[in-house]
Structure formats: C-alpha cells, structure tokens
A and B are shown apart, each in its own frame.
Chain A
Amino acid sequence: MEKAIFNSILRNHRDRVYRHALYCLRDCEDAEDVTQEAFLRLWQQGPDLPEERLSAWLTRVLHNLCIDHIRRRKTVQVHLGRPDPVALDGLVADSGGVAPQNGVGQDLLQAMDALPAETRSIMLMHYEQGLKLREIGELLDQNVNSLKVRIHRARKTLRRVLDRIDQPHLAARGENG
C-alpha cells in the first residue's frame, strides 16, 4: 500500500473509527489503543484494494478488535476490578465537542453496556455509521435475517434498561417484591 493512500484513509476515517471504538468500549484510552491497532493492521496487512473497500476491511478489523478487547477486559476485571466507565461529558469534552443537554446520550451509553459486545458494535454500525443490514452482513459474513433479529432484540433491551433508568423506583420495587 502506498503511504499516500494510507494517509488519505487515515485522515478520512480516523474520526469514524475512533468514535466507534469509543462508544463500543466507553473508555478513551482503550479507544485510542484500538484505533491505533486498527490502522496499523491496515498498514501492515491491508490488501491492495480501492479506498471504499479498504474502508469496509477496516470496519471489520475494528469490529473484531473491539470484541476481543471487551472479552479481554472482562477477564482482567475478574482479577483487578471493574474500572469506572467514562462519562459522556468527559468523552466529548476531551475531543473538544459539545455534549447533549438532555442527558439521553449518557443514559443510552449506560444502557448499551447491557448489550453483548458484538451486538453493541453492530448497533453502532447500523445506526451511528448508517451502514445497511446488507452491508453489515457482507462485512461480518452474517445472514441478514440474524442481524435483523439481533438488532430488534437489542432495541428491546435498550428500551427496557432506559425505562429502568428513568423510573428507578419501579425497578427497585420490582427487585424487592
């Protein structure tokens, strides 16, 4: 791969890659590690393809790296304890952006923690990056129907968790009784 092509992909896709890693992992340092790793793999192992297809290749690598990272982190947490998740305001402030005022984003990220790692990444690909189900299916070599089911269940889970966050008294009553 020519350096010029690599640099072009880096400039055009770095924000998308970082954002996906950040919302998937919910940790700035982990997201930085995964972003670096994804681009270094592109540089080291990326096939000689047009930029659009390299973008898809990069997305698949990123998806796998995020899942590996979450699985490994769970193993570490068993021994070292769970780190505090980074708040959305902190994530956004760190990048010089503006946090939403309604607090929905914060609750949503908290709710997304309830999803399996792979599903979380797929939800971000579909809704945040705007990839079609067919495109995600081709990227991950998965059946579109199974993706539909997974996204449908994920939406239900998010709704349930968000309702619990909105009405903690009901959740507490449910646990007690």
Chain B
Amino acid sequence: MMTRCNLIESLLTEYLSGELGPLQRSIVDEHLAECAACRAELADAREMGDAVASLPHVACPDRVTRAIESVVAAEPSRPRRRTVRRWATGWRTLGAGGVVAAAVLLAVVLPRNIPHPTESPRPDPAIHAGADLDRARAEFAWTIAYTAAVIDRTEKRTMVHVLRRLRTMAQDVDAEPPTGGQG
C-alpha cells in the first residue's frame, strides 16, 4: 500500500515543473510543511533537475549546418515522399555494405578488367539526350551528397574496418609466393 510520503514523492516531479492542479499542489504543500523527509526529497529533486538544466549551452557547429544546407540546396524542392522513403531505407539498410561493394569493385575488379578509358566507346548522343544527362547528373550528385550526410560514424567505422581488412587481404595475395613453393 502506498504511504502518504510515497504518494507525495510521486508528485514531486510535477510539483517542481508546475504541472499540478491547485488541489494537488495544496495537498503537497501541506504535507511538506510537516514532513522533513519529503522536504529533503524535494530539495534533492530540485538540485538534480537544476544540475541537468544548467549543463552548459553548446552551439551546433557551423559545419553541421553547412552539410545539411548543402543537401537541401541540391534539390529544387522536396522530392516525392515515395522516392525518398525508398532511398532513405535503402541507404540506411545497405549503407556501408553498398559503398564497400563499390569500393571493392573500384579497387580490385575494375582496374584489371575494364579497358583503358581512351579505348572505351563514347556514349551515344542520341540515347543520352542533354536533358536526361543533366537530370541523371543532378540525381547522382544529390545521392552522393545525401549518402555522405546520412552515413553515421558507426557505419563509417565499419567501412574503414572492412576496407582495412580488404587491403590486408590484397597485400597478402600480392606477397604470396608463386605456385610450386616448398610445402
């Protein structure tokens, strides 16, 4: 069973933030006037609240504001909700994995299999009309900016970790003696 002190104690948070109605407030006041233990409890609650409230004012770094503004500025208006949700969930889910896969492709596969740029065929102007190309470029730029902004530190750490492992593996492969070594 809840004692009177327990009941009063449960009301102290609202008492301090001024959320109690007049009747409840007068009940608490009356009890506090005659109970030293609850007065001590109130003083402690007030002290804790004041301590949290007096944590120093810290301003948001300008670089954070600039990063947000750069993503927003890359769009003429807010994109359609459906598209954004698909992108957002996709990048959040695949985030690190997708970028790592791209990095692996760039670092390992492409240099060995793709011909030199001077030998590759140029895009057909009839297919890549100017407007389409500009739109594709804009979307690509926005996607890169958005990805860079939403990937958080944990995912970046994961990426760095995976890339280091890949580099080590690549070094091991390069250092491996030719076949027919002593066994």
Contacts and interface: CB of A to CB of B under 8 A. Distances in A.
Chains A and B come from one and the same complex: yes
B56 A43 contact: no
B51 interface: yes
Contacts of B146: 40
Contact of B60 (A14, A124, A148, A151): A14
A76 B159 CA distance: 13
Interface residues on B, range: 35 or more
A10 B19 CA distance: 30
Interface residues of A, number: 62
Given A15-B59, A80-B161, A128-B53, A159 B48 contact: yes
Interface string B51-80: 111111111110111011101100001110
A2 B64 CA distance: 20
A22 B58 contact: yes
Contact of A10 (B51, B54, B65, B150): B65
B56 A88 contact: yes
A30 B65 contact: no
A32 B154 CA distance: 12
Pairs of residues from A and B, 9 with the lowest C-beta to C-beta distance, nearest first: A18-B60, A127-B52, A33-B152, A14-B60, A95-B58, A44-B84, A95-B59, A155-B48, A39-B68
Given A72-B154, A155-B44, 4 more contacts: A18-B58, A43-B68, A88-B56, A108-B51
28 contacts: A7-B69, A10-B69, A14-B60, A15-B60, A17-B60, A18-B59, A19-B57, A19-B58, A30-B153, A35-B64, A36-B67, A36-B150, A37-B152, A40-B68, A41-B88, A72-B154, A76-B154, A91-B58, A94-B58, A94-B61, A105-B56, A108-B52, A108-B55, A124-B52, A126-B49, A148-B10, A158-B48, A159-B48
